[in-house]
Amino acid sequence: MRKLIVVLSLLTVGIVSQSMQTPNAASITRGKALYAQYCMSCHQADGAGAPRMTPPLGKTDYVTGDKARLIGIVLKGLNEPLEVNGEEYFNPMASFAHMNDQQIADVLTYIRNSFGNKASAITPAEVKAQRAKIK
């Protein structure tokens, strides 16, 4: 009986943990609309950016890698050159800290799963944690 309870508990934790990280359709849809509103003018409709100005969002480790770094860029903005895939980009990025945690999670989840990317979702809790570290 104890073994059954332990196994069921582990399965429940695994399922809940996985569902929190797997992008869902509603988050992707909301994120796509936010991308069109806030990001597309610089990063372009296809996420390719602009040479030497705005970095591409597709197939880059800074998008699909460290979530905290990516969230930090959105919250703080970026005003220094950024090297992506061996090229430097110089266009400053404004802070989007005015967006709420859900909005930032949605747009970043969309970006992390568009433009040839396939990465885990970003949760509002992860954004909230990074926001607290920045303050």
pLDDT of amino acid 19: 41
Tens-place pLDDT, residues 12-48? 444 444 444 788 999 999 999 999 999 999 999 999 9
Q: Is 13 within the bounds of a domain?
A: no
CATH number of the domain enclosing 45: 1.10.760.10
11 part of a folded domain: no
Single-letter amino acid, residue 88: E
Query: What's this model's pTM, rounded to 2 decimal places?
Result: 0.83
Is 96 a domain residue? yes
Q: What is the mean pLDDT of the chain?
A: 89
56 lies in some domain? yes
Rounded to an integer, the average pLDDT of 103-115 is 98
Asked whether residue 12 is domain-assigned, the answer is no
Asked whether residue 98 is assigned to any structural domain, the reply reads: yes
Total domains in the fold of the chain: 1
**pLDDT one-digit tens code per residue, 1-21:** 555 554 444 444 444 444 447
Give pLDDT, residue 113.
Answer: 98
Residue 36 lies in a domain: yes
Domain hosting residue 72, numbered range: 25-134
